[in-house]
Amino acid sequence: MAVNSMDHQAIRELLPLAALDRLEPDEARALEEHLRDGCDECAAVLRELHEVAAALALNLGQEGSEEDIDDRIWQRLEARLYPGAEEPSRPAAREAGRARRPARSRVGAWRAATAVIAAGIVGIAIYAGLMNHRLRRANQEHQQTLAAMASRVNGLRAELIRARGEVGALQRVLGDRIRLEKVLIAPDLRLTRLAPLAPAPGAGAIVAVSATNKAAVFRAAGLPATPPGKTYELWWITREHGPVAAGLFQAENGLPVVAPVALPPEGEHVLLSAVTLEPAGGVSKPTGAMYLKGAPGPA
């Protein structure tokens, strides 16, 4: 602590030195300023210590060297100033007199200051470590939350795509059924019934044709699920050109299939209709096994 900013306790510890006239110039100025500011307590103590020091000097003037007398006066002044403190030993008092201020107070102050600084540094380090740990944990939780949200968004996106696909499929099915119903109620309806063959003994189908509506619709049930890389293909077998491709469709686990197909070739005579299993994308002439076959009904 700077001398010009001493507090009351620091000034009080200088009083025995002041009574012995051992203050440094800056300490003497600090004491004078303190007393000038009106500290009656320190002024009274200093007066008392001056009186005690004078009396002790008279009583001890013939006992020992001047240094020993000063030491004993110092000890008694300390005892007078701090009645409850243990009396210091002579070597300690002599060392205190040589140092011109209480060595114990000076060392204690430095130790206290060092302890406060060390405690502050340790506290700051602990606090910094705690905050760093909290920041890391918050960042991890934030990253986990973001990852969970991203996963949820991806899941919702996949569900949306799947839902759109299902809606599109339902719309197509609905459109095909509406088309089939229009054909079935047309006045010029012509049906071709297809009977099952060996590869699909439980299957069956019809082809409904309406020249007025310019539409033809195929409906089948009981067909095996379409194998990967394959497709079912419907054929018009005419007298003039033989098999003519009419349309492609897929079957799923025996579920009913409704699909629009091409009208029979105009001006040609259809002898039969047939369904074969062909490579994906279809072919221009049948190459695979035949699953269904039937002749057109009367016009």
201 vs 65 pLDDT, higher one: 201
Domain boundary among 146, 164, 185: 185
Task: Flag whether 45 is in a domain.
Answer: yes
Same domain, 271 and 282: yes
- For residues 179 and 84, state if they share a domain: no
Structural domain count, the chain: 3
Q: What is the distance between the alpha carbons of residues 169 and 259, in angstroms, rounded to a whole number?
A: 12
Provide CB contacts within 8 A for 68, sequence distance 6+: 90
Whether residues 180 and 193 fall in one domain: no
What is the residue range of 71's domain?
A: 3-101
Tell me what the pLDDT averaged over the chain comes to: 79
- Residue 33 and residue 78 in one domain: yes
Q: Where are the alpha helices (DSSP H) in 185-235?
A: none
Q: Is 154 domain-assigned?
A: yes
Which CATH number do you get for residue 259? 2.60.40
Q: State how far Cα 140 lies from the chain centre.
A: 5
- Say what percent of the chain tops pLDDT 90: 30
Residues 98 and 87: their CA atoms lie apart, in Å, by: 18
Percent of the chain with pLDDT over 70: 69
In this structure, are 131 and 180 located in the same domain?
A: yes
Domain boundary (161, 185, 209) is at 185
Residue 286 shares a structural domain with residue 227:
yes
Is residue 110, in this structure, part of any structural domain at all?
no
22 belongs to a structural domain: yes
User: 137-178 pLDDT, tens per residue?
Assistant: 888 888 999 999 999 899 888 888 888 877 776 666 666 667
Instruction: Name the pLDDT band for 96 (thresholds 50, 70, 90).
Output: very low
d(CA 198, CA 175): 32
pLDDT > 60? residue 60: no
pLDDT of 106 > 60? The answer is no
- Same domain? 136 vs 97: no
pLDDT the model gives residue 280? 96
Q: How many CB atoms lie within 10 A of CB 105?
A: 14
pLDDT at 91: 45
Q: Is residue 8 part of a domain?
A: yes
Do 197 and 216 lie in one domain? The reply is: yes
3-class DSSP assignment, residue 221: strand
Last residue of a domain, one of 36, 69, 101: 101
| One domain for residues 281 and 193 | yes
Query: What's the predicted TM-score (pTM) here?
Result: 0.45
192 and 278 part of one domain? yes
Same domain, 250 and 165: no
